[in-house]
Amino acid sequence: MNNEKDPLLLDHEADGIRELDNQLPRWWVWLFNLTIFFAGAYLLYYHVFDRGALMAAEYRQEMEVGEKVKQAALDRFEKEMLTMAPSTDAAVLEEGKQVFTVNCVACHRADAGGLVGPNLTDDYWIHGSEFKDTLQTISNGVPEKGMVTWKGLLKPTQIYAVASYIYTLRGSNPPNPKPPENTAPATPQVNIYE
Ligand code: HEC
């Protein structure tokens, strides 16, 4: 072998394979030492002295913050609901139609003529005929009667959109509607398209 004289070559050999005792680069050794130091510091900081929040605790904290933001938005919407007017914006109504198709047709029928839930196109309203009543009923639901509480499931903008969409269906007279639940017609409907 011609490498016999190499000072870095170690004595032992296995099946002709020999080992070169090369010095590791300094920067590498320091980096390695740094990782050892980091691991020790991490262990002390997080697990021995409990100074930092671990991943699960951090997750909980962030969820709490998120929950507060969500609650604040819902509270704000709760107040805004009282003075909102139905949207006539085509994009909002289209979004409302989609929300209705996905979430509401199972109980109110695609044309809102009523199935399990009441007809939403007639003059008879169980929970009030004003736009704010519609918003409130959708948001708070009527759990004891099977109407879902949508706040928290739908975003405020989606509730507003679907309520606006329903508003455009008033007076649309779909075939075979569900009979009115309410005995006396409530306040006459106002249809923005009339
Ligand atoms: C699981 C069935 C079900 C689903 C899904 C459902 N509803 Fe209802 N909804 C009802 C029932 C039942 C009532 C009647 C509650 C009562 O008798 O007080 C109702 C009532 C309503 C009312 C009030 C009607 C009135 O006469 O005052 C509105 C508005 C309404 N729903 C909108 C919606 C919208 C919008 C969706 C979809 C986001 C939806 N509902 C999804 C069952 C449902």
Shared domain for 36 and 83, answered yes or no, is no
Boundaries of domain holding 18: 9-48
Contact 193, 168 (CB under 8 A): yes
Measured distance CA(65)–CA(63) in Å, rounded: 5
Which amino acid belongs to residue 101?
A: T
**130 — phi, psi (to 5°)?**
-75, 160
Contact 9, 15 (CB under 8 A): no
Shared domain for 92 and 159, answered yes or no, is yes
The verdict on residue 189 lying in a domain is: no
Measured distance CA(116)–CA(109) in Å, rounded: 9
**Residue 166: Cβ-neighbour burial (10 angstroms; 0-12, 13-18, 19+):** buried
The verdict on residue 60 lying in a domain is: no
Q: What is the mean pLDDT of residues 13-38?
A: 94
pTM of the model: 0.76
Six-digit token pair at 105? 């047709």
The verdict on residue 68 lying in a domain is: no
CA of 160 to the centre of ligand 1 (A): 15
Shared domain for 82 and 136, answered yes or no, is yes
Measured distance CA(119)–CA(17) in Å, rounded: 87
End-to-end CA distance of the chain: 102
Shared domain for 38 and 91, answered yes or no, is no
List all residues whose CB is within 6 A of at least one atom of ligand 1.
99, 103-104, 106-108, 116-118, 120, 125-127, 134, 137-138, 142, 145-148, 150, 162, 166
The verdict on residue 114 lying in a domain is: yes
Shared domain for 32 and 111, answered yes or no, is no
Contact 46, 52 (CB under 8 A): yes
The verdict on residue 174 lying in a domain is: no
The per-residue pLDDT for 194 is 44
Shared domain for 94 and 43, answered yes or no, is no
Shared domain for 164 and 84, answered yes or no, is yes
Largest CA distance in the chain: 110
Q: What is the mean pLDDT of residues 106-135?
A: 93
CA of 123 to the centre of ligand 1 (A): 15
The verdict on residue 20 lying in a domain is: yes
CA of 72 to the centre of ligand 1 (A): 25
Measured distance CA(80)–CA(135) in Å, rounded: 10
The verdict on residue 188 lying in a domain is: no
Q: What is the mean pLDDT of residues 27-34?
A: 97
Shared domain for 43 and 126, answered yes or no, is no
Contact 163, 131 (CB under 8 A): yes
Q: Across all residues in the chain, what is the average pLDDT?
A: 90
Q: Which stretch of 22-26, 38-42, 82-86 has the lowest confidence by average pLDDT? A: 22-26
Shared domain for 108 and 148, answered yes or no, is yes
Task: Give the CATH number of the domain where residue 150 resides.
Answer: 1.10.760.10
Q: What is the mean pLDDT of residues 13-17?
A: 92
Q: How confident is the model at residue 22 (pLDDT cuts 50, 70, 90)?
A: confident
Total number of domains constituting the chain: 2
Which amino acid belongs to residue 113?
A: G
Shared domain for 83 and 156, answered yes or no, is yes
The verdict on residue 84 lying in a domain is: yes
The per-residue pLDDT for 7 is 82
Q: What angle do CA 112, 116, 121 make, to 5 degrees?
A: 25
Site to probe by mutation for ligand 1, drawn from 99, 107, 162, 181 as the one with most ligand atoms within 8 Å of Cβ, is 107
Shared domain for 34 and 90, answered yes or no, is no
Nearest CA to ligand 1 atom 7: 147
Shared domain for 85 and 164, answered yes or no, is yes
